């Protein structure tokens, strides 16, 4: 009972942030809370330095990969609310990413004004709403799409829900693909280019900049921008998880009938989960559009939905650190394979037998099967500490006496 309660959880966290992990393990005199903060500090330090390390050893290409890893983490955190917390299997999640990306593309590129003369008159300089405004709009718009998907599926569970959401994802993509006729709104499969970059206090993030003698590449600046957004999403997720709403989500996941009997308005609470998840998806999409400066329906295929779902499931459904780890592992794994698959084959057999892309999907599937067999609740599931001493937040109150 005297065992410090936080130690086991901190130990695993410290292992992830290896720099501080060693320090924490070597100083048993530290209070558990301090160890926790040390682990967090180590993690933050690594997260802050990562793009510099990547740039030094791998060049800009690897910084871009880090950017995408963060984007996928943000997407996965959004999906985690729907799938992990509320237990609603959503196979069309990428549609919200598409909504955000296309919103950015339409409102911050010359596309619409070149297509519609009336708009060109209204905005002679072209539609350039800019990243920050679109970011503000994208949240509510994506949430609306989330409710649009959620409303007809409220009574569906499991497989049936999965099929409808899958259909929804495809509908959005097919719309984007075909809305170039009779009036050209989305420019169809050709996509929309020349999307405005993020401009932060007059600093154009798509151009190399210099700060105090340090050269900052676009990838590096976007990394920190997305990092800030990811941290925001993590904080919101954590707070929601430990709230009345978060508990209601998990209650619905565990037993919807019992949740109703406890007075939870399951319809509203489920719609809220869809809306919240969609908001994060939409925001990720806006960043994606600005970062790539180009969007096309090809980026929002079913495979992408499944990829994001795999991050959530592999990492640890409903456990935020697990989802983050899942994102890092899957994106990292994919890139390592892309880099290594062909050279290694050449080295071993003298020629390339399996295309890197094919091998990637093969191993990806294999990894999924192995993890599901041996760690069905993910690589880093939520810790269970039943030996935790029962501590009270306040002293005893007697609100129980005296009936209703």
With contacts defined by CB under 8 A, name the span among 333-341, 354-362, 367-375, 379-387 that binds another protein. 379-387
Residue 86 touches another protein, criterion: CB under 8 A: no
Q: Does 403 bind another protein (CB under 8 A)?
A: yes
157's CB contacts (< 8 A; 6+ apart) are 256
Q: Which residues are CB-neighbours of 81 under 8 A, at least 6 positions away?
A: 237, 240, 249, 273, 276, 277, 280
Segment interacting with another protein (CB under 8 A) among 69-77, 126-134, 331-339, 390-398: 390-398
What is the secondary structure of 32-72 as a DSSP string? HHHHHHHHHHHHHHHHHHHHHHHHHHH-HHHHHHHHHHHHH
Residue 229 token pair? 């957004």
Spatial contact of 108 and 134, defined as CB atoms under 8 Å apart:
yes
* Nearest distance, CB of residue 118 and another protein, angstroms: 38
Among 199, 234, 247, 367, binds another protein (CB under 8 A): 247
Task: Quote the least distance from Cβ 152 to another protein, whole Å.
Answer: 19
Does 7 engage in binding with another protein (CB under 8 A)? Answer: no
Which residue stretch of 113-121, 209-217, 320-328, 383-391 sits at the interface with another protein (rule: CB under 8 A)?
383-391
| The binder of another protein chosen from 48, 243, 355, 372 (CB under 8 A) | 243
Closest CA to 233 of 356, 45, 75: 75
Q: Is the Cα dihedral 171, 172, 176, 181 positive or negative? A: positive
Nearest CA-CA partner of 286 in 114, 101, 82 = 101
Collapsed DSSP state (helix, strand, coil) of residue 402: coil
Assess 231 for contact with another protein (CB under 8 A).
no
**Selection from 119, 176, 109 nearest residue 145 by Cα:** 176
Choice between 87 and 289, CB closer to another protein:
87
Interacting residue with another protein among 22, 160, 265, 298 (CB under 8 A): 265
Chosen residue from 24, 185, 264, 323 binding another protein by CB under 8 A? 264
Closest to another protein by CB, 117 vs 390, is 390
Residue 221 and residue 102: Cα distance in Å, rounded? 22
386 lies in the site for another protein, by CB under 8 A: yes
Q: Is the peptide bond between 229 and the residue preceding it cis, with omega within 30 degrees of 0?
A: no
Which of the stretches 24-32, 250-258, 294-302, 346-354 binds another protein when contact is defined by CB under 8 A? 250-258
Provide, rounded to whole angstroms, the least separation between the CB of residue 84 and another protein. 11
Contact pattern from residue 185 through residue 224 relative to another protein, giving x for each residue in contact according to CB under 8 A and a dash for the rest:
----------------------------------------
The DSSP line for 257-285 is HHHHHTT--HHHHHHHHHHHHHHHHHHHH
Residues in Cβ contact with 184 at an 8 Å cutoff, skipping those fewer than 6 apart:
115
Give me the residues that bind another protein (CB under 8 A), please. Answer: 236, 239-240, 242-248, 250-251, 253-255, 257-266, 272, 276, 384-386, 388, 390, 392-394, 396-397, 399-404
């Amino acid at each position: 009972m005297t065992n410090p309660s936080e130690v086991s959880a901190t130990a695993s966290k410290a292992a992830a942030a290896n720099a501080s992990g060693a320090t924490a393990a070597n100083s048993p005199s530290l209070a558990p809370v301090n160890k926790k903060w040390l682990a967090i500090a180590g993690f933050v330090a690594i997260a802050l330095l990562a793009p510099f390390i990547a740039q030094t050893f791998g060049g800009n290409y690897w910084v871009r990969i880090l950017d995408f890893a963060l984007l996928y983490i943000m997407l996965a955190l959004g999906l985690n609310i729907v799938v992990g917390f509320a237990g609603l299997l959503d196979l069309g999640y990428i549609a919200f990413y598409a909504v955000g990306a296309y919103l950015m593309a339409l409102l911050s590129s010359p596309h619409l004004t070149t297509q519609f003369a009336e708009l060109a008159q209204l905005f002679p300089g072209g539609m350039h709403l800019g990243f920050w405004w679109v970011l503000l709009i994208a949240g509510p718009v994506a949430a609306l799409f989330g409710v649009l998907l959620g409303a007809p599926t409220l009574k569906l569970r499991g497989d049936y829900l999965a099929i409808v959401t899958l259909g929804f994802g495809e509908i959005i993509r097919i719309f984007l693909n075909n809305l170039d006729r009779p009036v050209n709104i989305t420019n169809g499969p050709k996509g929309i280019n020349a999307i405005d970059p993020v401009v932060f206090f007059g600093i154009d993030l798509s151009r190399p900049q210099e700060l105090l003698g340090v050269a900052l590449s676009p990838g590096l600046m976007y990394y920190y921008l997305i990092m800030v957004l990811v941290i925001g999403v993590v904080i919101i997720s954590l707070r929601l998880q430990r709230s009345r709403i978060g508990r209601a989500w998990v209650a619905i996941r565990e037993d919807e009938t019992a949740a109703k009997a406890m007075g939870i308005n399951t319809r509203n609470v489920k719609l809220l989960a869809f809306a919240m998840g969609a908001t994060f998806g939409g925001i990720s999409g806006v960043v994606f559009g600005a970062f790539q400066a180009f969007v096309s329906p090809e980026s929002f295929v079913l495979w992408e939905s499944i990829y994001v779902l795999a991050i959530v499931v592999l990492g640890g459904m409903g456990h935020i650190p697990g989802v983050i780890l899942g994102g890092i592992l899957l994106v990292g794994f994919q890139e390592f394979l892309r880099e290594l698959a062909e050279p290694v084959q050449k080295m071993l057999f003298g020629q390339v037998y399996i295309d890197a892309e094919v091998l990637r999907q093969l191993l990806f599937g294999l990894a999924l099967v192995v993890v599901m067999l041996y760690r069905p609740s993910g690589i880093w599931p939520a810790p269970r500490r039943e030996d935790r001493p029962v501590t009270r937040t306040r002293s005893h109150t007697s609100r129980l006496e005296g009936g209703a």
